[in-house]
Amino acid sequence: MINYVTAGESHGPQLTGIITGIPAGLKLDIKEINDALAARQGGFGRGDRQKIEHDSVEITGGVRHDITLGSPISLTIQNRDYSHWSQIMDPISPATQSNTLRQITRPRPGHADLVGGMKYGQSDLRNVLERSSARETAMRVALGQICKQLLSQLDINLIGYVQQIGATKIPEQDLSVQEINNAIEQNDLRILDSNFVEQIHNSILQAKKDGDTLGGVIKVVVENVPAGLGSYISWNTKLDGQLAGAVMGINAMKGVEIGDGFAAAGKPGSQVMDEIDWNPNTGWSRLTNHLGGFEGGMTNSMPLIIKAAMKPIPTLYKPLQTVDIKTKEKQKAQVERSDTTAIVPASIVVESVVAIEIAKAITATFEASNLDRLQKALHDYRKELLQY
């Protein structure tokens, strides 16, 4: 089964990731990974750091001649901005007066700064914010894109896009993954309807002028997932729960919905349950998809619908009140370089994390040491479901 770990600080030398459980025999397209990393750095409303970083991944283990070996895959992404922080973030040299000049003692409301400092006993909150920074998600995108390529070889496709920015909601459309991809490529907001671009651009520019930030809602659609991933037998085997936990583990996410989510709470059951249908050629299906492709914690063969609510970025250029952890005096929070909104790159992060969890469920369900073997096992399983 797939597992992964990341390491590295926001202004440290590099980000490192190790992923295990990827089958042998998968041909990796490193350009696709780097394209996703570039997309994560894009989007209207990003800050100045993205002009410095030009993320690209280096594969340092587990792959030979662009084919996975079945062994752990290790990746690195260099932090180009480290050249400006090499003394401050030096992993080896002892702390001195000169290399601790950029200490953080005024925690930012909404960040991990204060609570992280309390928990780990840090007198310099930079030791917290460097790891709690969303910079770490660059590595999760790289790892997720490996899983996305694996899923593609299993005829499972997915896409993440932006459904809402600030108060502006984009009308939904019933589109395939490919149609969604075609639509969001037409603008720099990853939204379905480009007619809303100017309005949203203006709201982002106004928020920037005000020293404020904006959040939004992200939606991920996953097609052709076989029925039966996950299980009803125990709370921790439910795949929708695992997905919700993984998405909530992304920086700034404050809510996750599956299907109609919270809207279903206000409807009668007759408008929420998806009636069952059967076709001798295509097998079992549902007439609607209000439950987002899940029943009893298991996939039911309908497209998976996962939505995530992202809070506004808590680093404000007109900072809020805080209290200095050393002097205990009320002051304004310290300001780190940040974005006005990061909802666009966050949609790629959520997409990547969902890909990891679906790939994890696939490799936990079927024998997955080799891609050919996994493809055959999944093919036979789909055939079995068709005959049920």
Ramachandran sector of residue 46 (left: φ over 0; alpha: ψ -120 to 50; beta: rest): beta
Main-chain phi, psi angles of 357, to 5 degrees: -70, -35
- DSSP, collapsed to helix, strand or coil, labels residue 322 as strand
DSSP track, 210-260: TT----EEEEEEEESPPTT-S-SSSGGG-HHHHHHHHHHTSTTEEEEEETT
State yes or no: 313 annotated in a binding site. yes
Q: Could you give the angle at the alpha carbon of 54 between the alpha carbons of 112 and 90, nearest 5°?
A: 55
Q: What is the Rg, in whole angstroms, of the alpha carbon atoms belonging to the chain?
A: 22
Main-chain phi, psi angles of 332, to 5 degrees: -85, 145
State yes or no: 373 annotated in a binding site. no
State yes or no: 252 annotated in a binding site. yes
State yes or no: 312 annotated in a binding site. yes
C-alpha to C-alpha distance for 287 and 271, rounded to whole angstroms: 12
Contact assessment for residue 77 and residue 57, using Cβ atoms and an 8 Å cutoff: yes
DSSP classification of residue 194: G
State yes or no: 296 annotated in a binding site. yes
State yes or no: 140 annotated in a binding site. no
DSSP classification of residue 173: -
State yes or no: 318 annotated in a binding site. no
State yes or no: 131 annotated in a binding site. yes
Contact assessment for residue 40 and residue 348, using Cβ atoms and an 8 Å cutoff: yes
State yes or no: 40 annotated in a binding site. yes
State yes or no: 133 annotated in a binding site. yes
CA-to-CA dists, residue 335 to 89, 318, 332, angstroms: 18, 9, 9
Helix axes of 137-153 and 30-40: crossing angle, nearest 10 degrees: 140
State yes or no: 144 annotated in a binding site. no
Largest CA distance in the chain: 75
* Annotation: binding site: 40, 46, 131-133, 251-252, 296, 311-315, 337
* Annotation: binding site for FMN: 131-133, 251-252, 296, 311-315, 337
